A and B are shown apart, each in its own frame.
Chain A
Amino acid sequence: MEQVKITIALVIAVILQWTLRNVAEPFAYIDFTLIIVVYAALQRSSIRALIYATVSGIAIDALSGGLLGSNGFSKTLVAFLVLELVRRVYLDNLLLQIPVLAGACLLDDLVYYGIHRMLGQTLDAPFVTTIAYTVIGTTVAGTITYIILDSFFSGKTPVRKRDVFTSKRQTRRRNPIRLGRRR
């Protein structure tokens, strides 16, 4: 059921990516599909995350002036790296997910730019400005999206302040008198 919900979220993300830039130019700097792809990877749904990355990337490329498959390539690579990270590091905390998303966005843009340069394509937008705006825009929008997704879609308990900001681990102090008793 959770996978169906993420798929729906991805479809909505693709639609937003197709339409919102025509409403206001700054929306171009939010990569909605990357947000969902990274979210799927953070949920450890490995194969789905990779397929989501490829399909949504090609869907974006189809309505873009860039090379077909370039977004699919960069997003698939990013999804895989996030999956590998998730395998090794516990990333269920929102505060840890934010830098992961920012890093994923930066890497996605660098790969996308590199591929185009490698294949002799010139991009219309300036390199540093676009990457900076995209990382900021996607990270901010992603943080809000993750809170919403955690609250409404996954069926988990809503993210509370206590969950977001990790509290000091509390352990019960053992009774020093009973320490010596062994049966």
Chain B
Amino acid sequence: MIERSQKEVWKITPWIMVALLLGNFVLMAYDARQTETNQRVIRVWAQTVADFVQSPVTSITGAVTGYFRSISSLRTAQDENDAYKQRIQELEVEVQNAKSLKNENERLKSLLELKETSKYKILPAQIIGRDASAWFSTSIINRGSLDGVKLNMPVVTNGGLVGRVTAVSPLTAQIDLITKEKSGVGAVVGELETSNTLGVITGSGQRDLLEMGYVPGNVEVSVGETVFTTGQDGIYPPGLKLGEVIEVKAESATIPQLIVVRPSAGLSSMQEVAVLLYEPPPRPKYEETLPNAVKGDN
């Protein structure tokens, strides 16, 4: 009796497998159609559920790591204490200088009637999870649509641009890093107003390097120059720091040169980030009617 039912189970197993594979394939095909964002109902729900696990784990591990770090740092505390005493003396002199500079700055600002306003609102966030698969490098932050986060909002650190929001759940959001090969960021080498070295930054296939393409071969670019966003991609605001040029693969005047850029934001070790509550200006109508225009819900 038991043997027979076991045989029956083995008989229907291939059919169940085929049904499950088909289900998964349909899901993949549906997901692959939308390339702009990762926003799907399953993702939103799973991220909401995962937040109840990821947030406590992140805080606990953070606390444990901090505790052990504080113990190890005690060993060097004495030496550091002496160094700090000396540094305090130096800093006091610097503070006096800074105070006078600040006063001078304020006077000049008032003369020019400039108002000190921050360009974009910033929402601090903590990274509570990283990609569950070894093949991708997305991250999960503890801010979601309830905090005002929307799709495609830029994510930064104090170092520079990190990426953009590609999926939002009520409590969390998923961010794609600029090192992703399919990310495209409009970039310029040097200051936007003065430089004409425009190009597109994409991932290089390596986790800590970016590539800047479409830069004409006759434009001079030197190692060490800083790369900023142009805002022409319709996602990122202009003027955000992207990184530093570390290599220039020069070509002839007719072939675009390839520039290797090291991201200024520490992408592999970041724990705290900030979401720029920035929404790009709406595209002109003629752009939306183009046959290859992306018609997302962003």
Binding site for B on A (CB under 8 A): 15, 17-19, 21-23, 25, 28-29, 46-47, 50-51, 53-54, 57-73, 76-77, 79-80, 83, 87, 112-113, 115-116, 119-126, 130, 133-134
CB<8 Å pairs between A and B, sample of 15:
A19-B57, A22-B58, A22-B127, A28-B131, A47-B9, A63-B174, A64-B135, A64-B136, A69-B27, A72-B27, A73-B21, A123-B135, A124-B203, A124-B207, A134-B134
Q: How far, in angstroms, from A22 to B130 measured CA to CA in the complex?
A: 5
Residues of A with C-beta under 8 A to B127: 22
Residue pair A18, B50 in contact (C-beta under 8 Å): yes
Tell me if A's interface is mostly helix, strand, loop or mixed.
helix
Q: Is the CB of A18 within 8 A of B132?
A: yes
Tell me whether B137 and A65 are in contact (CB under 8 A).
Answer: yes
Chain A residues in 8 Å Cβ range of B1: none
Across the interface, do B42 and A62 meet the contact criterion of CB distance under 8 Å?
Answer: yes
Enumerate chain B residues within 8 angstroms of A57, measured Cβ to Cβ. Answer: 24
Shortest distance between the CB of B159 and any CB in chain A (Å): 19
Size bracket of the B interface:
35 or more
A10 to B65, CA, bound (A): 27
Taking a contact as CB atoms under 8 Å apart, the answer to whether B53 and A18 are in contact is: yes
Interface residue B93 (Cβ < 8 Å from any Cβ of A): no
Q: Is B205 an interface residue (CB 8 A)?
A: yes
**Which residues of chain B have a CB within 8 Å of any CB of chain A?**
9-10, 12-14, 16-17, 20-21, 23-32, 38, 40, 42-43, 45-47, 50, 53-54, 57-58, 61, 127-138, 140, 166, 174, 176-177, 179-182, 203, 205-207, 268
Quick check: A69 and B31 within 8 Å, CB to CB?
yes
Q: A18-B50, A65-B38, A119-B28 are in contact. Are A76 and B20 (CB under 8 A)?
A: yes
Asked if A15 and B133 make an inter-chain contact with CB atoms under 8 angstroms apart, the answer reads no
Given known A18-B129, A64-B133, A65-B176, contact A121–B54 (CB-CB < 8 A):
no
Query: Which residue in B13, B61, B180 is a CB contact (below 8 Å) of A47?
Result: B13
Chain B, residue nearest A126 (CB): B205
Q: A19-B54, A69-B27, A69-B28 are contacts. A112–B13 as well, Cβ < 8 Å? A: no
Using Cβ atoms and an 8 Å threshold, which residues of chain A touch B20? 50-51, 53-54, 72, 76
The answer on a CB contact under 8 Å between A50 and B17 is yes
Known contacts A22-B54, A46-B13, A124-B180; 10 additional CB pairs below 8 A are A22-B61, A22-B130, A28-B134, A46-B9, A46-B10, A50-B16, A64-B138, A65-B131, A83-B13, A125-B134
